[in-house]
Amino acid sequence: MSVPSFSNIITSDMKKLFGNAIRSLLEDTALTVPCTLYFGITKYEACSNCIYDPIGRKSSNRFITGGPVPFRNGGICPVCNGNGKKPVITTENLNLAVIYDYKDFLGIKTPVNAPNGIIQVIARKEITPKLLRAKELQPSTEISNYANSRFERITEPQPAGFGDDEFVFCNWKRIK
């Protein structure tokens, strides 16, 4: 008895159909949730409470009239701790597909002792540079007042697709 050949089963039309289906699932109004990517401190802005000393490159420890937290001149500014500048943490909101159950993760055989607090996100490959730069991720920004979990990336984004690697997935571990 001869075994049927499977060489012509997966056609370019089937690959196109698969790609279209996954792209549809990753649309902002489909199976994605709002997520915030935290890129860490990317710049510094002048303190709104004290006068900056450009020569000493720190606070002059003189209060700016109308600043949010008054202090005596010569004291340390309580807003910037005498630095004169405050760090700005850059964020970006994106919609990503988030998988919370490790048994449904892509590319991983079910581990025997899978730790709690691991999630996987799936995105278009164009998002890869942002995933690589992100220090943290907070899914479901709409419910952040109720569940304020943050995650750090524990795997590099891995390509996924049906012959064209149009999508990526990566895993994140809960830190907060």
Per-residue pLDDT tens over the stretch 83-124: 999 899 899 999 998 888 777 777 765 555 556 788 889 899
Looking at the structure, do residues 101 and 148 belong to the same domain, yes or no? yes
Looking at the structure, do residues 74 and 114 belong to the same domain, yes or no? no
Q: How many domains does the chain have?
A: 2
* Residue 140 domain-assigned (yes or no): yes
* Residue 53 domain-assigned (yes or no): yes
* Residue 168 domain-assigned (yes or no): yes
Looking at the structure, do residues 101 and 154 belong to the same domain, yes or no? yes
* Residue 102 domain-assigned (yes or no): yes
Number of other residues whose CB lies within 10 A of the CB of residue 119: 21
CA dist., res. 94 & res. 156, Å (int): 18
Q: Domain of 123: which CATH number?
A: 2.40.10
pLDDT band at 134 (very low <50, low <70, confident <90, very high): very high
* Residue 108 domain-assigned (yes or no): yes
